[in-house]
Each structure stands twice: as C-alpha cells, then as structure tokens.
Structure 1
Amino acid sequence: MNLGVESLRKILQLEQARGYSNLAVIGGLDRYLHGCLEKTEATEQVFFLKEVCSPGFSYAALSENERKEWVERVLQQLAKVDVASKQPTGVPSPAKGSLDSPIAILKGISSALAAKFARLGVKTVKDMLYFFPRRHLNYSQRVPISKLEPGIEQTTVANIWEAREVKLGSRKGTEVTVGDETGNIRVVWFNQPYLAKRLRTNAQIVLSGKVSLFKGTKVFESPEWETLESEDLAHTGRLVPLYPLTEGLNPRRVRKLVKEVVAQWSPQLVDFLPQEVRDHRSLVDLPQAIQQAHYPDSEQRKDEAR
C-alpha cells in the first residue's frame, strides 16, 4: 500500500469534501490507517502515522468537530513533511534550472505559452511562485446530491452512471448522470463532447460549481471536476485558487502548472527571517507560506500564509 504523503493528503482532503463522514475510503479511515501501520515497512511516512495515531486512536469514535480538528491538524503537519523525493509529473528537477530560469524550461510550457504568461508578469520560475491567486473558491465542504441548492458554489462526490455525447442546443457537449446514496443529478458540459469518452461508468467523480434549475429539475452546468483517481485534488473538493488570466490561458491548465511548480520549486526558496522570529510571531517558513497561499489546506492555513 502506498503511504506517500500525497496519497494520505488526498484521502484526508476527500474526507473533508465528504463532510468528515468517514467515507473517504472503504471500511473507514481507522481500517486504512491501522492497516498501513501493520503492513508497511518502516518509512518516514509510517513514523508520521505513528505520531498522529496514538495507541487506541479511533477516528470513528470522534465527534464531527473532533474529526474536523484532527483532519485539519494532520493536514497542517503533512505540509511540513518533506515531499522532495516525489517528482511531480511535468516538472523538471531543480538541477536542470534555477528559480531565475525562464518558465520555458518547464515541461509543458512552450515558448508560445511562456509569452502568454509574460503578459501577466510571469517570466521566471520564481515569478510563478509569486503569481498568487486573486481569490479562492471554497469547494471544501461536500454536499449530498439531495441537499444541493441552486445558485450556490458547492461540491459533491458521486458515482458516474452514464456519460454520453449529446447535442445541447446548437452545440455538441457531454451529458452525464451521476448519483450518490441520496439521489441522482444530471451534469452537462457545453462544447466539451470529448468528456463523454474520458468519464468512465462507475468511476467516482468530484464535482464543484453551481447547480441551476431546468424545467424544475436540478442540473450541474459545466462544473469543475476531477475523478478520485487523481493524485491530488487541484480543481475540486478544496479551496481552489482563481488566478489572473489573459487570452489563451485556461484556468484548469494554469492551476495545474502552478501547482506543479509550487510543489517542486518552493522548497528552493530561502527564508531570511530567523527561526526565533518566526517562532515568536507564529509564522510558517517561506516555502510553506507559498504553498499555502496557492493551495491552502484550510481557511486558517490560508490566513496564516499571508
């Protein structure tokens, strides 16, 4: 079983999205955590789990508020764990460049794409680290399908029952039926017929966005989405960053690129504040502050990063 930091982070973020209902993994968190401790070799991640799971610990026995506090505390501690050994896909090793290197050295960023970022003042790797979101959408709280309300930003986790290409007015698109234990809902994406082939039947999906009413029936229209096969949630189920854009830059692509750069390159930043000053003022170090400014684990962590 993979006990990588990102895998554990993903599970806890999903637990947040599901309202601390102990449904993030089959059998509950207790079974997952204790199973990992029993079967996995002694690694840094196992030592971490032993630290946060005291003898006799039972997540199932906690109240909802206690679960919330425990998950947020563990996510905060996870942010301090060194994840440098995990190389995110599409991001080069720091040995192949420096913080002052042009972003065109990064895999996935062509010269044309770099020129678009340059219009926003992002020319170097360091510029991208300091390319902060305008704001965040709070998609962290999961709502059952039966409780979704029109006109409000919400997140739900569901199973895909059917996905098909359809004609929506004069445009082609994708129509999907998803459901959870409380009901089903229709989801549509305009001008994205290719999604019908990407969204597999019986896969679990996280949807974040606004629900509208069509002839008295609730419909998710063009929500942000991610399947739970994703290594880490970037577009749903959490505080999702909204970055400044310019012509030719897609929000999902910008989020993906920035997230990879922050994960790989922020540890290279040097914090010039002495440790005693940070401790006295309860400040996180610069790499953590940058990480939490982009992809905070909670509203509290976002505020601490400022």
Structure 2
Amino acid sequence: MNQPVSAVAGIGPRNEEVLATMGIYTVGDLLTYFPFRYENHEIQPLSEAEHQQRVTVQGTIHSMPELKFFKGKKSRLTIRILADGLLVKVVFFNQPYMKKQLILNDTVIISGTFDRHRLQITGAIVKPVEKIERGGLEPVYSIKGDLKQHQFRRFVEQVTDGFIHDIEEVLPESLMSRYQLMERKQAVYYLHFPKDEQAFNQARRRMAYEELLLFQLKMQWFRKNERQAGDGQSKSWDAEAVNAFIKRLPFELTTAQEQVLSDILSDLSSIERMNRLLQGDVGSGKTVVAAIAFYANFLAGFQGALMVPTEILAEQHAASLRELFAELKVNIAHLSGSSKVKEKREVLEMLASGEVDLIIGTHALIQEGVNFSNLGLVITDEQHRFGVAQRRTLKQKGLRPDVLFMTATPIPRTLAISAFGDMDVSTIDQLPAGRKPIKTHWGKRNMLQRVLAFVDKEIEKGHQVYVITPLIEESEALEVQNAIELHRTLTEALPHRRCGLMHGRLQHQEKEQAMADFQSNAIQLLVSTTVVEVGVNVPNATVMVIYDADRFGLAQLHQLRGRVGRGADQSHCILLADPKTEVGKERMSIMTETTDGFELSQRDLEMRGPGEFFGVRQSGMPKFKVADLLEDYRILETARNDAAKIIQSGALFEHDSYRSLLMMLESDIAFQEEKVD
C-alpha cells in the first residue's frame, strides 16, 4: 500500500507529478481516491424512457455521420441508430472529431437526453460495447492537469486488479458484525466499480462509518486529555459576592443565561480543566455571562484574558467591562497591535507582576513577550475567526487555564459534534426580555429612493442607521455598490444628515473616530463594509440597510442584522439585492422568513456545505473522502457514541482487535498534536 504510484504501469514521472497535486503519492492513496459521481450507463429500453430523461441505449449505426459547421468553431454532428426497433436520431454538438469514430453498422452504447417527441438523443456520449465491462455505473473522478478521465480510470483499474487483495481490515469484528458492514477491500472496490446501486450504498455506508469513527476517536481522545482528573485548577470564591454582582446588573438574567452560567461556574470550581463552547444568537447576552465568569475567576485570585478578532471589538469590550466593574477593584487593561510602545510596555509589566486582573485584546495577546502571573481563565470571542494554533498559544500562556470559546454564529448540532466534538457545548437560546424581533424586508436596488425616505424618517425620530456594502472601492469585475461611492451618493441625497464612512483600509485612528462619532450620535448614518459585523453595540441604531445583500452568506447577513435591535425601539433590516441566481433569491427569502439564528445556520449549512460554513482555512473542519456531515448525520452520531466508549474503556490501546485501527490513527499527524488542526 505504501509503494509509490510509479509502481503502477503507465504512471511515469509526468503523471506522477500531476497525481501529487491531487494528494496521490502511493498505491494506497490511489486506491482510496474515490469518484465524486457516476455516469449511469445501464442500458434501458427506449419504450420505458420518459421525455427529457437521460438514457443509455445500445444500437447499430444506421447512417453515415453528417457534419455541419456554424459561426466560429461551432458544429453539429448527426447520425441515426437502430435501437429497440426504433430509428433514432443522435445529435452531437461541437464534437467534430467523433465523425471518424462513428462507423456504419457498428454496435455502440449511446448516452444522452432523450426527446420522445422527436425520437432524438442529444448531447450524446458514445462507447463501444466492449468498454462497458464493470456494470452500468461508470466512475467520474475529480482530476487535475492534462490527465483525462479514461487515463485515470485505467490507473484505478490496474491498481485495483494488482493491489486490492493487499487492503487490510481496520475495524474490529465486533463493530463489523454489529452494523453488518462490508469488508474494507470489497467496499473500496465497489466505490470505484459498483455492480449496482445496492452494492454502492453498502460500500459507501461502510467507508463513511470508518471515516467518521476515525475522526471521532481523535476528538474523544483529545477530549479525554483535556479532562484528565487534577489537570485543571480548582477555584473557590465568595459566592455571595458573585450573587451581589449579578443583582446589581441593570437587568435580570434569562433562564438560558442562568443555566449556561451554572455550567461555567461548575467547570471553574472543578479540578478538571474547562474546555467549553458557548454559543448564543446575536444579542443573547454572552458578554455579561463572560463578565460574571471573569469576576468569579478574579475573586478566586486568578487573572483573566479575553481575546477578540478586531481592535474595535476589543475597545468596546474593554469599555463595557470597565463599566460593569466600575464599583469593584478589578484592574482591566487593553492590548492591541496599535497600542503605543510605552503603553504596551507598562501593560506587559503589570500583567507579568499580577497587577492586571483582566486583559482584553486582539491576537496581540498571544505574541511573544506577553506573560501572565497567574492566568486562570481564557475566553475567546468569535472563536471561529482564530486558527486552532492561535487558540492553543493563548491556552499555553498559563498553567492549564480554564478555556471558554464564545460564538454568535449559532452552530448546527451536526457541526458542533464534528468540529467541536472535544468540547462541552452550552447554548443561550433566549433573547433578553423586552427585545422586539427585527423586521426584515427585501427590495430591489432601484428602490433606494424609497429606502432613503424611510431612513430619513427614522433619523428624524432620533434614531441612527447603518448602510453596509461589500466593497470599499469600485471593481471592474463586480457589478456591486462600493462604500466610497455610496457614501458620496448618500451625502448628496441627505445633505441635512451627518453621514460617516468606515472600511478596513482606513487608519486605526480614523476607524476609531468614525465608530466613536456613531456611538455618540455625532454621525447619524454610517456607511461601512462588514468591519462592523461583529460585536459593535449602538442601541440607538434601528435600521440596517445591506446593499447587494445576495453577495453575503446567511450567517453573515444575520450577524449584520444583529447590529440593530439592541434597544427598546422597533428595528428594521432592509436587504437591497437583485439576485441573478436561485441561491441568491433563496437567501433573501429565508432572511425575511426568520430571525432565529439556529434555523438560519442550519439552512446556511445545507446551502453552502460544512467546509464553507466557517471558512475551511480557519475552522479545522475535516475533509472527508466519502462521508457527508449532512447526509450521514445518523452515522456521525453512532460513530461518536462508539468512539466515546472505545476511548473511555481503554480498548483502543489494550485490545488486539483494535490494533489496525490504532496504527491508522497513529499514522495521522493530527493525532500526535494537542488538537486537530
């Protein structure tokens, strides 16, 4: 299995290079490089075929091919075949080379779209009868470079014929018999060359379970390591002081906040290290829960750190936490990339000496030279925006501190199990009392004047407005509105209103000033890119206008919508878009139907797929060869339960029946790391 692919006949240095770009280096890699779809070449009678159905028929070429050329290089090639007693016309567009391959009286297999009214097959593929050898389903692979499908299929045929019997079973007999799983070598073969649909389904089920079990074994192993008894720092604090702090809050905690807080405080007092994900919809009150956790951690004599993705958010969190702790002796510091040298040096000295109790910052917190005296609790906000390595570095700044990850992107259960299977998950699924649902409207871009009239009325009431656009400057490649041009347009259209501009290319001080002006109501209308997406809190803002809204995903639209609706007044989100695709139209419809972030996240997952939900680069989401997190949700649940039992019982390391599975895991670099990266 570990022989180089050059051991396969026909794979020379050039093909070896192309295969390497596809992640195929060994015979084993080639055997487990599975098709992404199949062409159905199962021959069927035309009498049973429906109009406009894709068909595969066997027939005899009954006429000489006729080739006609049109403007440019476009062409149409026509023949007639005798199939099932019918004379059927077959049309090939832009395939003039087929003329030499179509010989009168030859018997061929034809695949294409059947027009029952015209007795015509269009967009056809021709195969000589002897080529349909391994059943009616023909594999189609994702290939690169100048490799052709027929070449790659030949390589796969050779490697299966020569090496399929060398494939060893990795699953123990107990699991094989419990789920009546196909043998591994048989499953690999049938994924390449399924003899029928039943064989393919059984092969796919077996390999999907294997992939998901391997991944969940890694996750459960890391989970166990994170929770080794005595590995954390048991903290004790004055419970009455924490309760008094909660009572002084200007609002009552929701039932969901109380439950989540109970989970977190229980973790802090445990000798096992906390590794928890806190997810809650936009505006559900995660920050105040974090503040209470930090206060308990402070009373126990430990330092806390809050890491956020942007400087604007860091500044806002620092301001809101200073306000919450105003009457208490909690020394709060703020650190970001733009902090002045002298200020940064002073903060670092106080942090190392223990004078700073709580520090809030961006990724500057994980840089070299940032040292803590006694770090006890790390909270990462909008955690999916940080890579695994960044999160790990912050964890390592203290002596095994408790760790809480927070996200305002509600994560569907399927992804929570897979991407965050090594964490405990707590959810705030309630909005604070008194919050009114945001009314969402979808309009076309030519309705801007009507929207501006509405915006002007809202500003007249003393409210403020966000206008979001996807681009900073005009793009030749994209027909979308840009922030600079839109700011100019709105300034001219509403000369009696103060209109501000914010985007990622502004200097830090300029962005800071624009946001400060908006928060103080010196600016009534803020034109911005998605730099305001996360965490910014302006309760007086009641309107969110999103230009070219179809260019954003559902999760991002929901995040943007969550910038309004933070006060007692009715808020509105207006989506301006002229979607050219069905997906774009569906997004707009979904946004107007629900404000439930969890429902939106599930729909977003279904539309975009798991890899794109977070952005593959940062998320640590696995790329499976066979398994699909949506389609195979029940298999994922089963694999997770099995993996938990195997790890907890120690069977993976102690029983001979698990030896092959363990060897496969140990060969995976990720298994040797602290966490899947």
- Give your verdict on TM over 0.5: yes
Partner of 2:99: 196
Report the Cα offset of residue 190 of structure 1.
Answer: 4.3
Tell me: CA distance 1:105–1:192, structure 2 relative to 1, closer, same or farther (3 Å).
farther
**Is 2:190 aligned against 1:292?**
yes
Partner of 1:142: 44
Tell me: CA distance 1:114–1:177, structure 2 relative to 1, closer, same or farther (3 Å).
farther
Q: Contact 1:150 / 1:218 at 8 angstroms: preserved in 2?
A: no
Q: Contact 1:165 / 1:172 at 8 angstroms: preserved in 2?
A: no
Once residues 51 and 152 of structure 2 are traced to their aligned partners in structure 1, the CA distance between those partners, rounded to angstroms, is 28
Q: Contact 1:139 / 1:238 at 8 angstroms: preserved in 2?
A: yes
Report the Cα offset of residue 131 of structure 1.
Answer: 0.5
Q: Contact 2:60 / 2:108 at 8 angstroms: preserved in 1?
A: yes
Q: How many residues align?
A: 202
Q: Contact 1:174 / 1:190 at 8 angstroms: preserved in 2?
A: yes
**Is 2:180 aligned against 1:282?**
yes
Once residues 279 and 148 of structure 1 are traced to their aligned partners in structure 2, the CA distance between those partners, rounded to angstroms, is 40
Q: Contact 2:8 / 2:158 at 8 angstroms: preserved in 1?
A: no
Alignment of 1:1-306 (within 5 A): 99-140=1-42, 142-144=44-46, 148-164=49-65, 166-169=67-70, 170-171=73-74, 174-211=77-114, 217-230=118-131, 232-233=133-134, 238-273=136-171, 278-279=176-177, 281-306=179-204
1:113 counterpart letter in structure 2: N
Please give the secondary structure, in 2, of the residue aligned with 1:205: strand
1:263 counterpart letter in structure 2: D
Please give the secondary structure, in 2, of the residue aligned with 1:186: strand
1:264 counterpart letter in structure 2: G
- TM-score (norm: length of structure 1): 0.56
Report the Cα offset of residue 191 of structure 1.
Answer: 4.8
Please give the secondary structure, in 2, of the residue aligned with 1:108: coil
1:178 counterpart letter in structure 2: I
1:221 counterpart letter in structure 2: T
Q: Deviations over 1:220-254 (max 9, x none)?
A: 33433322233715xxx612222113242333333
Once residues 115 and 188 of structure 1 are traced to their aligned partners in structure 2, the CA distance between those partners, rounded to angstroms, is 38
- Give the structure, 1 or 2, with the largest relative contact order (CA under 8 Å, sep 6 or more): 1
Report the Cα offset of residue 180 of structure 1.
Answer: 1.5
- Between Structure 1 and Structure 2, the one with more helix by share is 2
- TM-score (norm: length of structure 2): 0.27
Once residues 251 and 118 of structure 1 are traced to their aligned partners in structure 2, the CA distance between those partners, rounded to angstroms, is 17
1:166 counterpart letter in structure 2: L
Q: Contact 1:139 / 1:153 at 8 angstroms: preserved in 2?
A: no
Once residues 52 and 158 of structure 2 are traced to their aligned partners in structure 1, the CA distance between those partners, rounded to angstroms, is 32
Report the Cα offset of residue 162 of structure 1.
Answer: 3.0
1:295 counterpart letter in structure 2: F
Q: Deviations over 1:92-121 (max 9, x none)?
A: xxxxxxx32322332333322232222221
Report the Cα offset of residue 305 of structure 1.
Answer: 0.9
Once residues 163 and 105 of structure 1 are traced to their aligned partners in structure 2, the CA distance between those partners, rounded to angstroms, is 44
Once residues 89 and 12 of structure 2 are traced to their aligned partners in structure 1, the CA distance between those partners, rounded to angstroms, is 37
Please give the secondary structure, in 1, of the residue aligned with 2:67: strand
Partner of 1:7: none
The alignment's C-alpha RMSD in Å is 3.0
Report the Cα offset of residue 288 of structure 1.
Answer: 1.0
Once residues 230 and 204 of structure 1 are traced to their aligned partners in structure 2, the CA distance between those partners, rounded to angstroms, is 12
Report the Cα offset of residue 291 of structure 1.
Answer: 0.7
**Unaligned 5+ residue runs, structure 1?**
1-98
**Unaligned 5+ residue runs, structure 2?**
205-677
Q: Percent identity?
A: 25
Please give the secondary structure, in 2, of the residue aligned with 1:123: coil
Once residues 256 and 210 of structure 1 are traced to their aligned partners in structure 2, the CA distance between those partners, rounded to angstroms, is 27
Q: Deviations over 1:273-301 (max 9, x none)?
A: 45676455432222211111111111111
Tell me: CA distance 1:270–1:184, structure 2 relative to 1, closer, same or farther (3 Å).
same
Once residues 286 and 242 of structure 1 are traced to their aligned partners in structure 2, the CA distance between those partners, rounded to angstroms, is 21
Once residues 272 and 130 of structure 1 are traced to their aligned partners in structure 2, the CA distance between those partners, rounded to angstroms, is 14
Once residues 138 and 198 of structure 1 are traced to their aligned partners in structure 2, the CA distance between those partners, rounded to angstroms, is 22
Report the Cα offset of residue 173 of structure 1.
Answer: 6.5
Q: Contact 1:168 / 1:190 at 8 angstroms: preserved in 2?
A: no
Once residues 191 and 299 of structure 1 are traced to their aligned partners in structure 2, the CA distance between those partners, rounded to angstroms, is 33
Once residues 51 and 12 of structure 2 are traced to their aligned partners in structure 1, the CA distance between those partners, rounded to angstroms, is 40
Please give the secondary structure, in 2, of the residue aligned with 1:244: coil
